[in-house]
Amino acid sequence: MTAADLPEMAAIEGIHTAVAASATGYEGRPDMLLMRFDPGTIAAGVFTRSSCPAAPVRWSKARIAAGDAPLGLVFNAGNANCYTGPAGHELVRKSAERAAGQFGCAPENILVLSTGRIGVPLAEDVIFASIDDMAGRLAPGGFQQAAHAMMTTDTRPKAATRTLELGGTTVTLHGLAKGTLMIAPNMATTINLLLTDAAVDREDLQEMLGDAAARSYNLISVDETTSTNDSMLAFATGTAGNPPLSEGDKRSLRRALRDLTMDMTELMLADAKADGKILRVDVSGASGNASARRIARSVTRSLLVRRMVAREALGDPGKSSVGQVLAAVGGSTEMIDPDRVEIRIGGAVVLSQGAVIQDIPKAATDNVASDDVAIAIDCAIGAGTGTMRTVLEKGE
């Protein structure tokens, strides 16, 4: 995919970018990104919940927690700088110092992100030379090139954009992401940058970002592996000049951020899908939304359900394939009404009042044979709803 295949992404006042082909991760293509943010920019972040996070995550998470003013970002692809011991942490600090020296600020004003191979040391002289080189070439815009530089196992760059009105002022939102593998909730594996010229309070931006992650990245999985390097950072320059946000404006911005991150998850799932399938599980009638999400995840994680879908085995004589879905629901240990539960596949009822429909409707078998499989479960106990989407290899 070329830059022409990405959406048009207007420059955002207050953000300058440059990319470099450092060969620390990949030969013959950009694999590093440098961003400079004008003073007044604020940042928010959501990170992996892994108890063994990579060195860049630990640094950047501390910067976000401390509320340090973000003036720059150093990103490298192809090497995660993870599980590289004290040297890895030292490289993060030195990389921040190098960029800070170029920007005339403190190292704490620089965020650092890495993604790629685990356990492989990075050559600091190449990283530093690339930072110096990029600092001399920073320019407004360049977001399409940035998306390319962020790629690892991705087969295509991922970017999305939206505009909205806040207080009568048009503001822009851009999203850049990478990710196809090691995707699981907590949060779904990705490096994601959300960029906007909206003027918004840092606390509000942090709350909105957390909400967006919960409703998008934390509702997808591919290989059920939580990454060491998950990071989603949002930067708001405030240069659009919109007035202080009303409650209605806050709702609009929250919704736009949520929609933008949903766009990014669609791109990641489509890339991970390749010639496989996407399974979507929608749960309703649960005791609460959190319970519904746990039920949906229990179904997407079930090996028997995954095999049923991947092998298109719905309705095979003697295999009670549909029953495996209800078994996975019960395996969640969440409250349901087993005598009133209903399951639909492709919109057709395949299980009703706790009993499998013996003559499986054609709409259900056709849906399981498609590349986008939809299972809907009504737990018949409350008003809770939840969704999970996952990618399956055909025949797995």
- Enumerate the active-site residues: 189
- Strand-pairing partners, residue 159, are 176
- In angstroms, the CA 391 to CA 306 distance is 9
User: CA separation (Å) from 45 to 127, 202, 247, 265?
Assistant: 24, 10, 22, 17
Listed residue (17, 64, 9) closest to 38, CA to CA: 17
Query: In degrees rounded to 5, what are phi and psi of residue 333?
Result: 65, 10
CA distance 383 to 375: 18
**Closest C-alpha to 291, from 156, 162, 385, 369:** 385
Q: Quote the Cα angle for 311-336-372, to 5°.
A: 30
| 387, 265 contact by CB (below 8 A) | no
Other CB atoms within 10 Å distance of the CB of residue 37: 24
Nearest-angstrom CA–CA distance, 337 and 379: 6
Which residues fall within 8 angstroms of residue 263, CB to CB, at 6 or more apart?
160, 162, 175
Residues 113, 231 contacting (CB under 8 angstroms): yes
Kindly give the residue spans of alpha helices, DSSP state H, lying in the chain. Answer: 55-66, 85-103, 124-135, 143-149, 202-214, 247-273, 289-301, 303-310, 321-331, 362-368
Contact 80, 115 (CB under 8 A): yes
For residue 187, whether the previous peptide bond is cis, meaning omega lies within 30 degrees of 0, is yes
Question: In whole angstroms, what is the distance from residue 363 CA to residue 389 CA?
Answer: 20
Q: What is the DSSP letter of 191?
A: E
